[in-house]
Amino acid sequence: MEFFYKGISTDGNTIKGSIEAANLDEAKKKLKAQNILFSELSERSQGLLETLSLFRRDTLSSGALSQLSRDLAVYLNAGVPLVRSLTLLRHQSRSDSRMERFYDTLIEHIHEGKSFAQALDMQEFYTLPVFYVGTLKISEDRGILAQVLNELSHYLNIQEKIKKQLSQAMVYPSFIIIVAVLMISFMLTVVVPKITSVFESTGQPLPMLTQWVISSAHFFAQYWIVLFAGLLAAISFFVFKMATDSRFKRLIHGIVLKLPIVGKMVETADLARFCTISSLLIRSGVPVVNTMKLSSITLSSAVIKELFEQASTKVVEGSSLSNALRQSDVYSIDASFVEAVAIGEETSEVSTMLEHLSTLYIDTNKDRISIFLAVLEPALMLLIGGMIGVIVTAMLLPIFSLNLE
């Protein structure tokens, strides 16, 4: 339950806000523990949508988490206590009731003696990345919370920019595909049937290409609902299998890694993510084995994730990371990455080497994405133009035959 309160803080200022508690008595105890002398305390009424939202646990976007980390790091570096910093962030989120309750919950847990990482782990409003909470736990123990928050903010900001670039870059190809599907559907279901009636009235035998296009048009016109339902069913089945069947997911990801251009893009993106997180965790004092486990959670490919999880097991047994990756039969990772890690291990500069590799892979992937999109757009245009050309040619062939006769 959530209770709204008004009162006076220890410094004499009038304050108001909300607090989570099981009942009214518990809310009073929590306010007393925070040294708040309340004048009003009542259960907060909620609308239907707001009530339903409490049962939903969203994933906090990379952009929002980056901003939270950056703002909190700024306050902590300025010498503002953690609870006061969270209170300031709460005031900035008044327009978002869910985010406001998120900060209230963190403040309550910290007042109860929990660490910041524990408070993040215990709250139930947002699902946060495992590596994020794990990194903050280590940084709090070492007293470098502000520094690590700043680095996490930088990493999350880069990830959000890459995601936005991909989304923006795919707008034009997606538009072309949608327009093409609509155009071809219109031609097959409206234009072709009308022209077909003209051809049939002549009684002339039609060319094979024309017959094929007419048959396709009749098929789509009669069974488009079945085809649409089948497509939705296939997509739903694929999504379900990807979510529930780890072997199927690994199989698909293995096929993706073998694709030209796309496979290298996926591998490079995962290596960039692994290097960035691992570099940050090692600098924060996390052991190499734990670093690999936390970093592998962030990877998108099940195959590459399995590779690093297997390598972490071999590291526990005494092997170096480079040898574990080199000897693995799960997937043959980029040889230059393995050699760079080996050099970092020899010079005891693994963290620095991973940081440089991260920058290299991020820049490399940007170039690959640009090349991929540069090839994709004209390829789509050629494919769509070819399909429409086939339909138009099929309709013109009988006309040419009539003119020749």
Residue-wise DSSP of 200-224: HHHTPPPPHHHHHHHHHHHHHHHHH
Q: Are strands 37-43 and 2-8 parallel, antiparallel or unpaired?
A: antiparallel
CATH of 254-368, one of 3.40.720.10, 1.20.81.30, 1.10.260.40, 1.10.3720.10: 1.20.81.30
Chain segment 134-173, per-residue pLDDT in tens: 778 878 877 788 888 888 888 888 878 878 877 777 787 8
Give the separation between CA 58 and CA 124, rounded to whole angstroms: 9
Chain segment 127-144, per-residue pLDDT in tens: 888 778 877 887 887 778
The tokens of 43 are what? Answer: 């259960």
Cβ neighbours for 1, distance < 8 A, ≥ 6 positions apart = 20, 21, 22, 23, 27, 43
Residues 96-102 have a mean pLDDT of 83
Burial of 58 per CB tally in 10 Å (0-12, 13-18, 19+): exposed
CB 342 within 8 A of CB 320: yes
Q: What angle do CA 87, 88, 91 make, to 5 degrees?
A: 90
Q: Where do we find the tokens 């099929």? A: 394
Chain segment 383-401, per-residue pLDDT in tens: 888 888 888 888 888 777 6
Give the separation between CA 344 and CA 338, rounded to whole angstroms: 10
Over 70: is that where the pLDDT of 13 sits?
A: no
Q: How many angstroms separate the Cα of 17 from the Cα of each of 8, 20, 107, 389?
A: 11, 11, 12, 66
- 264 band by pLDDT with thresholds 50, 70 and 90: confident
Residues 278-298 have a mean pLDDT of 80
Chain segment 297-339, per-residue pLDDT in tens: 878 888 988 888 888 888 888 888 888 888 888 888 888 888 9
Give the separation between CA 144 and CA 95, rounded to whole angstroms: 31
The tokens of 40 are what? Answer: 């009003």
Over 70: is that where the pLDDT of 67 sits?
A: yes
Residues 54-158, CATH architecture: Up-down Bundle (1.20)
The tokens of 44 are what? Answer: 């907060």
CB atoms within 10 A of CB 299: 21
List the end-to-end C-alpha distance of the chain, in Å, as a whole number. 86
Residue 42 forms beta bridges with which residues?
Answer: 4
The tokens of 325 are what? Answer: 């990756």
- Cα dihedral 100→82→15→21 (10° resolution): 60
Q: Where are any strands of DSSP class E within 178-303?
A: none
The tokens of 159 are what? Answer: 């990830």
Chain segment 29-39, per-residue pLDDT in tens: 777 777 677 66
Chain segment 187-221, per-residue pLDDT in tens: 877 777 777 777 766 667 778 888 888 888 888 87
- The pLDDT value given to residue 51: 46
Residue-wise DSSP of 96-157: -HHHHHHHHHHHHHHHTT--HHHHHHH--SEE--HHHHHHHHHHHHHT-HHHHHHHHHHHHH
- The pLDDT value given to residue 54: 45
Residue type at 268 in one-letter notation? T
| H or E element at residue 7 | strand 2-8
- 101 band by pLDDT with thresholds 50, 70 and 90: confident
Cβ neighbours for 137, distance < 8 A, ≥ 6 positions apart = 115, 117, 118
- For residues 268 and 197, the model is more confident at 268
Give the separation between CA 20 and CA 26, rounded to whole angstroms: 9
- The pLDDT value given to residue 39: 62
The tokens of 257 are what? Answer: 């890694």
Give the separation between CA 127 and CA 125, rounded to whole angstroms: 7
The CB-based long-range contact list for 45-53 (8 Å cut-off, 24+ gap) reads: 46/2, 50/97, 53/98
Residue type at 240 in one-letter notation? F
Residues 181-189 have a mean pLDDT of 82
Cβ neighbours for 404, distance < 8 A, ≥ 6 positions apart = none
Number of Cα atoms under 13 Å in the Cβ half of residue 125:
19
